[in-house]
Amino acid sequence: MREALFVKQNSEKWKAYERIPATNPDEVAERFIDITNDLSYAKTFYPKSKTTAYLNGLASTLHQSIYRNKKEDKNRLVNFWKFELPLLFYTYRMQILYAFLFFIISASIGALSAKYDDNFIRLILGDSYVNMTNENIAKGDPFGVYKHTSEFPMFFSIAANNIYVSLLMFVSGIFLSIGPIFYLLQNGIMLGSFEYYFFSRGLGLQSVLVIWIHGTLEISAIIIAGAAGLVLGHGLLFPKTYTRFQAFKRSAKDGTKIALGLVPILLAAAFFEGFITRHTEMPVWLSITILGASLVFIIWYVLLYPAILSKRNQLHKNV
């Protein structure tokens, strides 16, 4: 590659690194790796050029910055959930939107399929679950399945399963984002047919008041885990000005942070399902309060707060 073309492709990035300060040590380290890669290339092909000297100076500045910030922030974990994760939600808001749309469309497919095919529900949910629930409905306790296991074993089992499913959805993004789409469709179809099953028996509102006590957080986390998988695949599909490997490393890092950041939400959902959902006789106002609080939290933390935080950071940079 000619030096002029090399400079043209990367000059805006270099200027941004000089002009805009990094917001955290991880970003400083990421910039340093990126610049040293460019510097190595320049030293190989343009060893005595001004471009090489410029990149060497920029790399030295970033190196010094890394050592100034080497001491780990005592509030690193708090800052991750307070700032870093919300900003990742904002950065990859389109992937979250795509995951949500995939899930809603598949849930609609599941509900419509269940409506027009009597065997579809048994195909998706299994004969044993449908038979057991039919017996519970006949007994007047349609959601008795949540009472069959004691609280702690149920909590640990559900938490482990949900974390496993979420991480699987994320890792499957390495297959050019096909994996997360498949799992989103699978889970969406299951949810759609599941909800239609109760609505078709006149238990729709009751199912929402009972199941969505934990389902609000659980389904939201599954959708976001699917989005994390799309983020992982995004680097492979759309490297932009980076090499495909560099883009993949960046997307893998961000996707991993999103997937691991969901663990507290999944644990909260498992807690609700193991300890709270079983109380199907709880007052309606209490059920609505828990469900509503969970929904408000997801909307605030995943959508509104990240946008506010991003806007605040942008204003700070422009000052």
Token pair belonging to 153:
């074993």
Amino acid at 237: L
Q: Report the C-alpha gap between 84 and 89 in whole angstroms.
A: 9
Q: Report the C-alpha gap between 191 and 110 in whole angstroms.
A: 7
Contact 249, 29 (CB under 8 A): no
Q: What is the pLDDT of residue 24?
A: 66
Task: Kindly list the distances between the CA atom of residue 316 and the CA atoms of 226, 287, 306, 309, 311, in Å, as whole numbers in the listed order.
Answer: 32, 41, 15, 11, 9
How far is Cα of residue 92 from the mean position of the Cα atoms in its chain?
A: 9
Query: How confident is the model over 232-273, as pLDDT tens digits?
Result: 999 888 887 778 888 898 899 999 999 999 999 999 999 999
Q: What is the pLDDT of residue 68?
A: 58
Contact 235, 250 (CB under 8 A): yes
Q: What is the pLDDT of residue 40?
A: 80
Q: Report the C-alpha gap between 62 and 10 in whole angstroms.
A: 17
Task: Kindly list the distances between the CA atom of residue 11 and the CA atoms of 6, 29, 41, 44, 55, in Å, as whole numbers in the listed order.
Answer: 8, 19, 14, 18, 10
3-state secondary structure of 143: coil
Q: What is the pLDDT of residue 319?
A: 46
CA dihedral 299, 297, 284, 263 (to 10 degrees): 110
Which among 33, 32, 31, 43 is positioned nearest to 6, based on CA atoms?
43
Contact 180, 169 (CB under 8 A): yes
Q: Report the C-alpha gap between 166 and 269 in whole angstroms.
A: 13
Which among 42, 57, 49 is positioned nearest to 10, based on CA atoms?
42
Helices 50-68 and 25-45 meet at what angle, rounded to 10? 160
Q: At 23, which helix (H) or strand (E)?
A: none
Sequence-ordered list of residues with C-beta below 8 angstroms from that of 58, at least 6 positions apart, any chain: 14, 17, 18, 35
Sequence-ordered list of residues with C-beta below 8 angstroms from that of 104, at least 6 positions apart, any chain: 188
Write out residues in the chain with pLDDT < 70, as ranges. Answer: 20-26, 65-74, 315-319
Query: How confident is the model over 279-299, as pLDDT tens digits?
Result: 988 999 999 999 999 999 999
